[in-house]
Chain A
C-alpha cells in the first residue's frame, strides 16, 4: 500500500467549506435563546463613576442587564496571564486585575462594562443605547516608546512596567563588542497588527437547568484550555459541569487562544437568567477587542569583524502588552522572542533585554509567529545592513556565519537538532535567479523604476516542549498533546485530538498519518476535535504545534492499537506474538501466512466469542475493545528554517511598491501533505507582506483606534501578491518519530524582513519603517533623488 504521508491528499474539509455547509458558532441557534450586546467603554482610560441601567431595563424585550458589580459579587474571576516572567533583578512580573466586566476603571476603548440581554438582537442593541455610564476621563497612555514616562495606569505598577527581562550575558557582550571592527545598529518598530480572522469571535451558551451543565459554543483555538481557565480561574462552573465546543472556526492566528470577557460573561449570565445566550462580534468589536499582535520598539546592535564574522548581538526592546497581560502576552516578547533574536548564526555572545509595558490599548498577545517574527526582523535587518556596510554579498555574509554542523547550540537557549542552512540558501538563490539580479535592476531602471532585492534566513522554535522545560520558564501549563484512537466494531475509526483545526486541515493531515499507521483507507478515518465532551484533553493549536506534538500523539496511540492487535491476532491465529507481522492493515503469521485484517481484529475485540465454542480472542491480561490513547510530550521544540528572497519594484513618482518575485525555501522536515504545507506558506507570506507593506494599527493620543475598519486598516488582497515560488529542503527532526517540523508560522516569520530588505535595497539603503506605504516610500525616493543629484 502506498504511503499517504507525503502525498497531496485533497482536503476532507473543503467540501463543506466550499459549499457553505461549515458549521460555525454563529450558525448555532438554540430554542428560547436570547441575544447579548456588550456596552463598551468609548474612552481609553476613564474612571467609571456610575452605571445606570434603570432606563435600559424598561426597554422592550430586555431580559437582564448585568454589570461589573454583579460579577464581582458572584466572585467570577478575571482574565489571566499564562506565563509568569521574572525581571532581570529577580522580581516577579506585575500583573493588574482584569475583571470580565470593568467595574471601577476602563483601560481601553472597547473594554466591556455591561452585558445587555434581550429577546432579539435589535432589542438588545436599542436597550444598550440607554445604559448610562458616568465617566471621569483620564489621560490615556498609548505610545509604546514613551509609556514608561506616562501616567501610571494600574495602581502599584510603577512606570507601567510589567517586567524588565534579560536573557544572556551583558559582560560577555560588552567584551565581544570591544573586539569588533564595526558595530551595526538599527532602530526598529515592529508595527502593531490586528489579526483579522475571517470569522469574528462569537459564543452561544446553553445552560441546562436539569443537569446544571453549561455548554459553551465558542470561537476558540483550544477548547479544553478554555474550560480549564474558565473553571479554575473564572469559577464559572466546575470542569465536569462545563462543556466547551469550538466547532468550525474561521481562522485564529493567535487571537482565539485567549478566553475572552464575553465567553466568561455569557456563560455566567446564562446560568443566572436560565436561558441560552448568543453573542456575535461585529467587525468593529473585533478590531477593538481581539488581541492584537507585535508592537515592539527595538534598538539592536551587531558586532562584526571586517571579514564579516559576527561577534556579538544585543537588543533593547520595549514591548507593548496593551491594557492587560493575557495568556501568551508576557511570553511572546520574552521566551518566544529573545532566544530567536540571534537567528541562524553562530554568535558567541548575545543578550536580549525586553521591557514589557502596559498602555491604554487593546491587549497584545500571540499573533502568527508570536515573538519569532519580531526576532527575525531584528537580526535580519541587522545582517542585511552589515552586508551593505561591509561590502560583502548578503548571501555570502550569511553563509559565513551559519552553523555547519548539527545539533547546533544556539547562543541563548536552544539546541537545534537538525538543519542545513547552507543548502536552503543555495537553493533559494538558484530558484530566485539571484546571480542575475543586477540585469533585472537595470531593466527596471530603464523604465524609470527602482528595483531592490532582499534576503532573510530564519529559524524558528515551535511546538514548544517539553512541558517540564516550559513550566520551568514560567508557563502555567504543560504543552503536551493527547490523542485517542477508537475503533468501532465494524472497523471505522475515530481519531480524537486535543489539537484544534481552524484552517490547518487536521481532518486531512491527521487522517493521512493514522491511515498509514493502521493500514486502512483514509475514508475509514474521522478526525474529531473541538469538543471537551468528546476528546480526553488537549492544549489546542498555536505555535505550529499540532503536527509535531498532536500528530505524534496520534502516531503513538496507533502504535498501541497495532501492539494490541498483534496480541489478539496471535491468539486467534494460534501462534506466538513475535511470529506476527503487521503490514498494510493485516496481521500475518509469518510461517503459516494466515492473516487477520485489522478490521477483523477490531470486530473480534468488540464481539469476543463465537457460537458452539467457548473461546475468546482476547488474550489473558487484555480487555475487550480497541481504544488506545497517548499523551505526547516531545523532548525538544521543532526547528524549521529556511531562506526567503524577495524582489520589489518601486515607482518613484508614486512610491508604490510592487512585489515582483517571492521565493521561499523552507525545511519543515518530513512533509505530510505538500499541498497543505504550501497553503500554510502562502498564507504566512501573505500576512508577512501585509505587515511589511500594508497593515498598521494606529491609535491616536487619546487612545481611539483610528484604523478600526477596513476603510482604514489595509488588509492585503490577492492583487498585492505575486505568484509565490516555493521550494523545500529536508532534514528530519530528531525530537519526534515522524521527523516533522512545524510549518504554520514560518511564512509570517521570514517574509517581513525579506520584503523590507528588498525595499531598503531599492531605496539605496535608506531605513524605512513598516509598513512601507506608498507615501513613505515616495518621500524616500525624493531623498534619493536629492542625494543622487548632489553626488552628481
Chain B
C-alpha cells in the first residue's frame, strides 16, 4: 500500500472541501481498502466520512424508506422497520458478502462503486430510488452509467438513498461460488402502476429488463414470461458463467422471484 493523507471529515461540507482530483471518500472501505492494498488504486488523500453522524440511519415513511449513505448492510438487514416496509431490501442487505463485510460495508459505498455484480444497484433501479447527494437528487435510472461508473461528479458525496416502497418485491441472487457476488441478481418490484425487474451481475452495469418488466406489468404471473427469449449477446462471460448461462438465470430467477412474492 502506498502512503496517503488520511482525513476525518466532520460533515459533508468539509468532506467535499477536502476532496481533490486524487482523493477518495472512505466509508466501510470494503472495496477501496483491498484496492489500495493490491495497488489497484492509489490516492493522495483519503477522506473518512463514517464519523459524519448525519449520513447514517434509517427513516421510514408511508411511501419511502430512506437509508443514510454510511448505514451498514447489517443495520439494514436487521432493521425491523425495513423488514416490515420492504422485506426484500433487508434480505438483499443480509445476503451481501459475509458477516464481517456486512458490519462495515455501506449502501453509499456500494452504489458509488457500482460494481457490475453488486446487489444494491438492482434495488435502487427496481425501487425507483432517488440518490440524495450534497449537491442534488439523482434518479437511479440516471445514476448508474456503466461498469464502475456513476453520475457522481468529483467531490460529490452521496448522503442518502430514498427507496420507494412497492406493493410486493423480492430479490433473488445466484451467487458467484467464489466471491459470492451476484452472477445474476434479480430484483423484482411490483409497484401500483408498474413492475420493475432490475438485473445485476449479467451485464456491464445494472439494468431494468424492459421486456420482462412490461410483460409482468400486464400480467403478474410466471406464465407471462414463460416463453420469453432472453438476448444474452451483451451478457458478461467469464470462467464462472457464460453469457448464455447468465441469460437463462435471468429468467429462472425472475420466476423464482415471482413465486416468492
Interface residues of A (CB under 8 A from B): 122, 126, 284, 653-655, 694, 698, 706-707, 710-715, 773-775, 778-779
CB pair A122 B3 closer than 8 Å: yes
CB pair B177 A694 closer than 8 Å: yes
From A654, A710, A774, A778, contact of B179 by CB (8 A): A710
Given contacts A654-B174, A711-B179, contact A122 B249 (CB under 8 A): no
From A122, A698, A706, A714, contact of B177 by CB (8 A): A714
CB pair B242 A775 closer than 8 Å: yes
CB pair B241 A714 closer than 8 Å: no
With both beta carbons as reference points, the residue of chain B lying nearest to A693 in the complex is identified as: B177
From A284, A710, A773, A778, contact of B248 by CB (8 A): A778
State A779–B249 Cα separation when bound (angstroms).
12
CB pair A706 B239 closer than 8 Å: yes
List, in ascending order, chain A residues with CB within 8 A of B79's CB.
none
CB pair A122 B1 closer than 8 Å: yes
B219 within 8 A of A: no
User: Mostly helix, strand, loop or mixed at chain A's interface?
Assistant: loop
CB pair B179 A712 closer than 8 Å: yes
B103 within 8 A of A: no
List, in ascending order, chain B residues with CB within 8 A of A711's CB.
178-179
Min distance, Cβ B258 to any Cβ of chain A, angstroms: 13
CB pair B239 A653 closer than 8 Å: no
With both beta carbons as reference points, the residue of chain B lying nearest to A656 in the complex is identified as: B174
CB pair B252 A775 closer than 8 Å: no
List, in ascending order, chain B residues with CB within 8 A of A713's CB.
178
User: Mostly helix, strand, loop or mixed at chain B's interface?
Assistant: loop
CB pair B245 A714 closer than 8 Å: no
CB pair A715 B178 closer than 8 Å: yes
From A654, A706, A714, contact of B252 by CB (8 A): A654
Interface residues of B (CB under 8 A from A): 1-3, 38, 174, 177-179, 239-242, 245, 248-249, 252-253
CB pair B178 A712 closer than 8 Å: yes
CB pair B239 A654 closer than 8 Å: no
Min distance, Cβ A624 to any Cβ of chain B, angstroms: 57
List, in ascending order, chain B residues with CB within 8 A of A284's CB.
38
Pairs across A and B, CB under 8 Å, 5 listed: A710-B178, A712-B240, A714-B178, A715-B178, A774-B241
State A3–B38 Cα separation when bound (angstroms).
53
Given contacts A710-B178, A713-B178, contact A775 B245 (CB under 8 A): yes
CB pair B245 A653 closer than 8 Å: no
Known contacts A712-B178, A714-B178, A779-B245; 13 additional CB pairs below 8 A are A654-B249, A706-B239, A707-B178, A710-B178, A711-B178, A711-B179, A712-B179, A715-B178, A773-B240, A774-B174, A775-B242, A775-B245, A778-B245
With both beta carbons as reference points, the residue of chain B lying nearest to A773 in the complex is identified as: B177
State A713–B178 Cα separation when bound (angstroms).
6
List, in ascending order, chain A residues with CB within 8 A of B240's CB.
712, 773, 775
State A139–B78 Cα separation when bound (angstroms).
54
List, in ascending order, chain A residues with CB within 8 A of B2's CB.
126
From B3, B178, B241, contact of A775 by CB (8 A): B241
Q: Which of B178, B179, B241, B252 has the most CB of A within 10 A?
A: B178
State A126–B241 Cα separation when bound (angstroms).
37
With both beta carbons as reference points, the residue of chain B lying nearest to A720 in the complex is identified as: B177
Min distance, Cβ A723 to any Cβ of chain B, angstroms: 21
State A122–B37 Cα separation when bound (angstroms).
11
State A712–B252 Cα separation when bound (angstroms).
24
State A773–B174 Cα separation when bound (angstroms).
13
Question: Lowest 10 CB-CB distances: which A-B pairs, in order?
Answer: A714-B178, A714-B177, A711-B179, A653-B252, A775-B245, A712-B178, A775-B241, A654-B252, A713-B178, A694-B177
Min distance, Cβ B85 to any Cβ of chain A, angstroms: 28
State A710–B178 Cα separation when bound (angstroms).
6
State A710–B252 Cα separation when bound (angstroms).
27
State A218–B204 Cα separation when bound (angstroms).
44
State A773–B242 Cα separation when bound (angstroms).
12
Q: Which of A284, A698, A714 has the most CB of B within 10 A?
A: A714
With both beta carbons as reference points, the residue of chain B lying nearest to A655 in the complex is identified as: B245
State A126–B39 Cα separation when bound (angstroms).
11
List, in ascending order, chain A residues with CB within 8 A of B174's CB.
654, 774
CB pair B252 A774 closer than 8 Å: no
Min distance, Cβ B238 to any Cβ of chain A, angstroms: 8
List, in ascending order, chain A residues with CB within 8 A of B38's CB.
284
With both beta carbons as reference points, the residue of chain A lying nearest to B174 in the complex is identified as: A654
State A774–B246 Cα separation when bound (angstroms).
11
State A706–B3 Cα separation when bound (angstroms).
29
CB pair B239 A698 closer than 8 Å: yes
State A122–B39 Cα separation when bound (angstroms).
12
With both beta carbons as reference points, the residue of chain B lying nearest to A778 in the complex is identified as: B245
With both beta carbons as reference points, the residue of chain B lying nearest to A710 in the complex is identified as: B178
List, in ascending order, chain A residues with CB within 8 A of B252's CB.
653-654
With both beta carbons as reference points, the residue of chain B lying nearest to A712 in the complex is identified as: B178
With both beta carbons as reference points, the residue of chain A lying nearest to B246 in the complex is identified as: A775
With both beta carbons as reference points, the residue of chain B lying nearest to A651 in the complex is identified as: B252
Min distance, Cβ A357 to any Cβ of chain B, angstroms: 24
State A576–B189 Cα separation when bound (angstroms).
92
List, in ascending order, chain B residues with CB within 8 A of A774's CB.
174, 177, 241
State A753–B3 Cα separation when bound (angstroms).
50
State A185–B103 Cα separation when bound (angstroms).
52
CB pair A707 B239 closer than 8 Å: yes
